[in-house]
Amino acid sequence: MFTKKNPKADLSKNSTLYFLIGLVLVLFVTWRLLEFKTYERSYDIDILNVMSDDDEEVPITEQIKTPPPPPPPAVAPQVIEVAEDEDEVEETVIESTESDQDDILEVENVEVEDAFEEVDVPFAIIEDVPIFPGCEEVAKSKRRDCFQEKMNKHIVKNFRYPDIAQEMGIQGRVYVNFVIATDGSIQEIRMRGPDKNLEKEAQRIISKLPKMIPGKQRGRPVRVPFSIPITFRLQ
């Protein structure tokens, strides 16, 4: 089968137009290529030369770094545990201890210990002076004088001048201190005199004192210190 050509179709009719269009495009592209320029990129590098100056000393400063303060101790939050009441709590009933007025309380005899402390009360201020044997029947107001009288009689009766002290011509006064204890006995005899022989004789005389009725303060027996001088004199 053969295609029939149209006698009216003339292909050479528009060829000139197409050629001109193509030429214009080629010229336009060529012009654009000529207008495009290539520029070379140049870089300016500035080199900084640092000259070292040996004559100038640069001080070196060291910065002291202060260590930061320690952080405050962490406070642990207080944990409050709530105990569950699983067990039953028994209620305690407190009964009144008050007795009725009609009730009579029986109190047994209670022994109170005597906590009175032994003290020393001087003979001059004691309420009840120690009673020397033989002064029991004397009035209370005169027992002090009776004591002094019986004491002097006892010293005179038992006095004996030491032989060695007589031979050496030793004489003087011996001060004797002693305590009349709460049981009436004579204790803690102390002497102070010019000679040991005289002191020994004074101690012997006082040690022969009889047992007395102890002195009392506020109705209680107390220790009573007493002092007396014994004079040794040669004639």
The full set of domains in the chain, from first to last, is: 140-232 (3.30.1150)
pTM for the model:
0.50
The one-character DSSP state at 213 is B
- Kindly state the average pLDDT of the residues 171-189: 95
Q: How many helices (H) and strands (E) does the chain have?
A: 4, 5
Q: State how far the Cα of 21 lies from the Cα of 25, in Å rounded to an integer.
A: 6
Measure CA of the first residue to CA of the last residue in the chain; give whole Å: 204
Give the pLDDT band of residue 235 (cuts 50, 70, 90): confident
Give the pLDDT band of residue 95 (cuts 50, 70, 90): low
Say yes or no to pLDDT of 56 above 70.
Answer: no
- pLDDT at position 8: 55
Residue 234 CA from chain centroid, whole number: 68
Say yes or no to pLDDT of 124 above 80.
Answer: yes
Query: Given strand 172-180, what is the order of strands in its sheet?
Result: 186-192, 172-180, 224-232
- pLDDT at position 186: 95
Q: Which residues contact 170 (CB under 8 A, 6 or more apart)?
A: 194, 195, 197, 198, 232
The one-character DSSP state at 148 is H
Give me the phi and psi of 35, to 5 degrees please.
-70, -25
Please answer whether residues 155 and 173 qualify as being in contact, where contact means their C-beta atoms are separated by less than 8 angstroms: no
- pLDDT at position 182: 94
Q: pLDDT digit string (tens) for 26-48?
A: 888 888 888 765 545 443 434 34
Please answer whether residues 127 and 140 qualify as being in contact, where contact means their C-beta atoms are separated by less than 8 angstroms: no
